[in-house]
Structure 1
Amino acid sequence: MKLVKSLLLGSAAGLTVMAGAQAADLPVRKAAPVEYVRICSAYGAGFFFIPGTDTCLRVSGRARFEAGYTQSYQRGSANNGGDLMGYRGLGRLNLDARTQTAYGTLRAFVRFELASRTGAYLTSGTAQRAANAFPALGVDTFGRAQQYVNVDKAFIQFAGFTAGRAASFYDFYAHDFEIIGTSLGSDVSSTNLLAYTATFGNGFSATLSVEDPVFRRTPIFGTGTAGAASQFQVFGAGSGNFTPVIAVNAAGVPVGVANYDAIQRSRMPDFVGALRYDAAWGSAQISAAVHELNTGNASSFTPFPGFPASIPGGVTAPRPTTEYGWAVQGGVKVNLPFIAAGDALYLQGSYGVGAQLYTGYSTYNGSYTSSGNVAPGSSFSNWYSDAVIDPFTGKLDLSSSWTVVGSYLHYWAPEWRSAFIGSYGEQSFGKGSRAGVGLVSGLVGASLILSPTASQFAFSNVLRDTNQIVAGASLIWSPVRDLDIGVEGLYARQALSNGRVVDQNKNPVTPTGVVNGVPTFGGVPLATVNATDSFQVRMRVQRDF
């Protein structure tokens, strides 16, 4: 037994030695070296090389909390009536990738923004109309809670070209010093574009940009539904946007109105040009834009009283026309280090015809809609249409607008700073636009208040020339780098350029008559105004990283 055991142990030892010898003859695979992330210093702080590539990447972001108080004139259910407070939490993620090439730097930049917001003002109808947000639908949350999901930036820059979703090259100041940008002035931070920028040295550059027109459209004036009783009715969701044009029979006799489809189509991009200068003392820019306005065909026919709905031989109306709005803007930024380190002053002015969103006249009250007001339930609304279709010729009668803004940033100390903002603007419509549409409205059965043949017509706010003031100031504390804790107060006033209107806050009715120059309802005098105002206070806590 001992002999057998010894033989087995000896055999096992022999096999082990042989296997070890054979293993020693096999090639040994070395572990792959660890590739550590390397710092990329070519483009500033925060960049690193993506392992295995020559592309430098910077990851950054933002976390923000905001709360606001705004004035309200009503407690109705519509338009956040009665809401005084609003809140918002916002997250931002930035990805900035750059690669050096024989043609210069190849850059791709992406920014995502996500926000949850509730209550007065911080739920944005403007963002919702531009497809950047979606609303809650509950009984108590409808119009008061909103999620914001936006690809704020997604562009490529290469050899002077910029392609993708980026800030419009028309803009300059773009609310740079404001907690929430609401001063009058253009600020389309995200649009789709293809642009080329040429640099000439000594700080000069010029850009030609082809931009998405959708984000620069203020609706052409129209009604909610074809043949509606009141042609001064703002269009509603799903009801279309129509406006009346006189139609004639075969003998040339006016027999009714053709209801034109006034929703604009995307047929031509906007063309933007900018000339810019940057230097140690600051920067300056002159920019201009051309913007197409168009309408669709007549969609239906509404006869005048006494004429049949179907006219023998048919009816004809002027063909829809296309017009071109335009805008120009000039701005300058001056650095003021001799007052305090970091101090700067912006001055900017813009004028446009048929291009209200290029002047930014509706920034405070809300864009992408035909009307807005300074606070829920305020005395009257502003009207913003880029154009009115002349009911007698079918041609577009373009509105005009202009704005000026000044903004000064001052550092009281390295940790404390304030911004002081002031802006003013005006918008006016063609002299015959309001009267013409009102007259045709009366002929198709609209209320007499909307017809220029009635004395009450003078007290309607629709398509009235107006002006606005938006001003404010802020105080921001930055106890550590990239942390802001601040508060901002704003005052806004909108007014008629001439005349008065019924005060809808005190008398939300349509007057039935006028006595001694005063509108009445059932014989009772109604209050009138020519201006309305509001104020807001906001606070913000923000950390950038």
Structure 2
Amino acid sequence: MTFKSKVLLSASAFLMVSGGAMSSDLPVTKGEAVEYVKVCSAFGPGFFYIPGTDTCLKIGGEIRADYRGRSDSYSRNDYGTVVAPGAAPFSYSFHSKGGLGRDGDRARFGTQGRIWFDARTETEYGLLRSYFQINASGRTAKGESNKFEIDKAFIQFGGLTAGYAHSFFGYYDNFYGDTIWAPYYAESNTVNLIAYTAQFGGGLSATLGLEDGRDHRTVTFGIEDRGVTAGVLYGGQELPDLVGNVLWEGDWGAVQASGALHQVRVSEGSHALGYDDKLGYAVGGTALIKIPAIEGGHFIVEGAYASGALDYLGIGTADSGLFPAGWDAYPGRGVNTKLGKGWSIVAELGGNITPVLAANLVGSYISARTDENYLPGITIWNKYAVKEYTVAGNLTYTIIKGLTIGGEISYTRTNLTRPTTNVVSGNTLFGNVRINRDAWEGGIRIKRTF
């Protein structure tokens, strides 16, 4: 046997002996248990148990990509009579028309991402739920910037709701509101609130809550410049809004009646001039009829009337802003606070034409007015009245589950009238202003939901 062969044989024997010894010395352990994510079926699809807890969580979101075009035009007619001391009355008329100028965006792009978290736990006292949604929007028009905002953030425990949630005054916007961009006139605010809902059985419930009145303000008529105040301006909040509703729901649909009280608290400067605080209010009603012959078929109508609380009409969503008639308050003769008044209505018919094609038709109308506004020393009083309506139709096609493409076309008509009496430098002007505005809008939205 050669020397090389002896070395190899010795090494092999050593490895066999030592390997056996080392393997016998290794500890024998069983595989540790791994806690996997479990499906939570108690609250519907998409929920899972957070590991180590009895809380079920659902995470969802969507991406919206919008492409739309817009065209609008207006016409203005002024006519009246000027009466000057020692001169014959002079009649005048003025007419003009125009549209979206070169500085406006006729073609618009928009992108928005949304993500939400819905956590629920069953307790011996009832359901404990927390919901959080954030929206991030890309710039959609000239002069705008990217936006990142909290859409909702609230806690529900039993009948209690606390946090940043949809106002309990409105029903339509919270559960329907199936337009892509077109405005509709219904309470659509998300506000800071605390409310309690009592369930009476048979689908009947009642809710009473306090909502941040600053989130329900529109505008007031006034001027405040360099310490000089004229007219009625909002001051700080003293009383929150009191909001309540009675709701009856069933397989057939739903009926809701709602009401709200809103304080118009004037600023320090306005109060010093003699203007006082006022209490505004709003009342509304909703009727929903489900159409069982069509998947998701429904017809819903909602209306509201308000005095000094015009936000509850959905006035903030109006295409024109309804300025200047959309005031909560304005100065009347004799230095007193007057309340703006208005009403709105919206109706929607919709459902799935086929399993992959949905259609909606929405019509809405809003009217707001001021009986009279007056500034002492300037002697101007007007009676503004604004009316606006919108009709819109859309189709949404489901390409695959979670991916849709929708198209919408809408028309909005705005009419402003302003009878005017103006006394300046001894001249008295009796005049009228009428402004009509027409707007067409159409486009598509691609949406991915997960």
TM-score (norm 1): 0.68
The whole-number CA distance in structure 1 between the counterparts of 2:106 and 2:445 is 17
Q: Does residue 310 of structure 2 align to residue 356 of structure 1?
A: yes
Matched residue, 2:378: 441
Matched residue, 2:334: 392
| Sequence identity percentage | 30
Alpha-carbon offset, residue 392 of structure 1: 3.2
The whole-number CA distance in structure 2 between the counterparts of 1:361 and 1:154 is 24
Relative distance call for 1:337 and 1:320 in structure 2 (3 A) is: same
The whole-number CA distance in structure 1 between the counterparts of 2:199 and 2:182 is 30
Render the CA deviation track for 1:385-428: whole Å, top value 9, x for unaligned: 100134633x3211111001111114332222221111122112
Q: Is the 8 A contact 2:68 2:108 kept in 1?
A: yes
Q: Is the 8 A contact 2:288 2:298 kept in 1?
A: yes
* Matching residue within 268, 281, 287 for 1:297: 268
Q: Is the 8 A contact 2:73 2:439 kept in 1?
A: no
Alpha-carbon offset, residue 320 of structure 1: 4.4
Render the CA deviation track for 1:447-484: whole Å, top value 9, x for unaligned: xxxx45xxxxxxxxx76122111111112212323332
Q: Does residue 126 of structure 2 align to residue 104 of structure 1?
A: yes
Task: Give the partner amino acid of 2:107.
Answer: M
The whole-number CA distance in structure 2 between the counterparts of 1:427 and 1:468 is 9
Alpha-carbon offset, residue 498 of structure 1: 6.6
2:214 is paired with a residue of what secondary structure?
A: helix
Relative distance call for 1:109 and 1:97 in structure 2 (3 A) is: same
Q: Does residue 402 of structure 2 align to residue 492 of structure 1?
A: no
What aligned pairs does 1:452-471 form with structure 2 within 5 A after superposition?
A: 464-471=384-391
Matched residue, 2:398: 478
Higher strand proportion (structure 1 or 2): 2
2:311 is paired with a residue of what secondary structure?
A: helix
Q: How many residues align?
A: 414
Unaligned runs of 5+ in 1: 120-140, 229-241, 245-259, 300-315, 367-371, 374-380, 443-450, 453-461, 502-512, 520-527
Task: Give the partner amino acid of 1:221.
Answer: F
1:110 is paired with a residue of what secondary structure?
A: strand
The whole-number CA distance in structure 1 between the counterparts of 2:267 and 2:57 is 47
Relative distance call for 1:98 and 1:327 in structure 2 (3 A) is: same
Q: Is the 8 A contact 2:371 2:384 kept in 1?
A: no
Q: Does residue 284 of structure 2 align to residue 329 of structure 1?
A: yes
Q: Is the 8 A contact 1:65 1:542 kept in 2?
A: yes
* Ranges of 4+ aligned residues in structure 1 off by more than 4 Å: 15-24, 28-31, 316-320, 497-501
Q: Is the 8 A contact 1:226 1:243 kept in 2?
A: no
2:225 is paired with a residue of what secondary structure?
A: coil
The whole-number CA distance in structure 2 between the counterparts of 1:263 and 1:79 is 34
Q: Is the 8 A contact 2:185 2:365 kept in 1?
A: yes
Alpha-carbon offset, residue 206 of structure 1: 0.8
Q: Does residue 111 of structure 2 align to residue 191 of structure 1?
A: no
Q: Does residue 431 of structure 2 align to residue 537 of structure 1?
A: no
Alpha-carbon offset, residue 30 of structure 1: 4.6
The whole-number CA distance in structure 2 between the counterparts of 1:540 and 1:19 is 71
Render the CA deviation track for 1:62-84: whole Å, top value 9, x for unaligned: 1111122122459x9x9984321
Q: Is the 8 A contact 2:419 2:431 kept in 1?
A: no
Q: Is the 8 A contact 1:106 1:158 kept in 2?
A: yes
Task: Give the partner amino acid of 1:243.
Answer: A
Cα RMSD, aligned residues only = 3.5
The whole-number CA distance in structure 2 between the counterparts of 1:358 and 1:539 is 29
Q: Is the 8 A contact 2:220 2:328 kept in 1?
A: yes
Alpha-carbon offset, residue 275 of structure 1: 0.7
Name which of structure 1's ranges 262-271 and 105-114 shifts more when overlaid on structure 2. 262-271
Render the CA deviation track for 1:98-119: whole Å, top value 9, x for unaligned: 1111012211111111110322
Alpha-carbon offset, residue 217 of structure 1: 0.5
Render the CA deviation track for 1:4-48: whole Å, top value 9, x for unaligned: x9xxx9xx99x9799969956x7x665431111111111100111
* Matching residue within 98, 102, 108 for 1:86: 108
Matched residue, 1:32: 32
Task: Give the partner amino acid of 2:327.
Answer: S
